[in-house]
Amino acid sequence: SWRDDSGDFLTNGSVIWVVNYLDRVIQQYISFVTIYDKTDNRFFFH
């Protein structure tokens, strides 16, 4: 659960969940951008 015993959303657990979620989104975005890089370098941002 992303809630701790106090029910506080802003806990270390939720922070870790958010970081993991953002990391997954960023990795998917990087993969998407990399695919476009193969066809048009303008789509790739270093």
Positive or negative, the Cα torsion across 26, 28, 31, 35? negative
The whole-number pLDDT of residue 30 equals: 82
Rounded CA separation 12/2 (Å): 9
Q: pLDDT band for 42, please (50, 70, 90 cuts).
A: low
Q: What is the pLDDT of residues 9-37, one digit of tens each?
A: 556 677 888 888 999 999 888 887 776 66
Residue whose token pair is 């998917």:
28
Q: Which two tokens stand for residue 29?
A: 């975005």
